[in-house]
């Protein structure tokens, strides 16, 4: 990919899996998260930049996080 800028909304640029730190795009982050049963932090940051009360990045914690930050305004 050369010097092409990767698309990434994650602000944790110090993470070794962030695309600015290698040439594999988001693949390494996604692979790490899938292996751990987690969701990438960028998904959480789409809901809120405030991750201070977050203890884990699991699917269940994401659902709770959305519910807490957005309330019960679901269109599902």
* pLDDT score for 73: 59
- For residue 37, being part of any structural domain is answered with yes
How far is Cα 53 from Cα 23, in angstroms, rounded to an integer? 32
- For residue 6, being part of any structural domain is answered with no
Phi, psi torsion values for 36, nearest 5 degrees: -90, 0
- For residue 61, being part of any structural domain is answered with yes
Mean pLDDT to the nearest integer, 50-74: 88
Domain coverage including residue 47: 19-70
> How many folded domains does the chain comprise?
1
How far is Cα 57 from Cα 48, in angstroms, rounded to an integer? 14
- For residue 76, being part of any structural domain is answered with no
* pLDDT score for 2: 47
- For residue 58, being part of any structural domain is answered with yes
- For residue 12, being part of any structural domain is answered with no
Q: What is the pTM of this model?
A: 0.73
* pLDDT score for 12: 84
- For residue 56, being part of any structural domain is answered with yes
């Amino acid at each position: 990919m050369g010097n092409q800028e990767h698309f990434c909304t994650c602000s944790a640029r110090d993470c070794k899996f962030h695309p600015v730190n290698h040439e594999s795009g988001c693949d390494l982050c996604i692979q790490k998260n899938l292996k751990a049963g987690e969701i990438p932090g960028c998904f959480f940051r789409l809901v809120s930049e405030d991750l201070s009360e977050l203890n884990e990045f699991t699917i269940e914690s994401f659902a709770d996080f959305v519910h807490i930050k957005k309330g019960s305004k679901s269109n599902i």
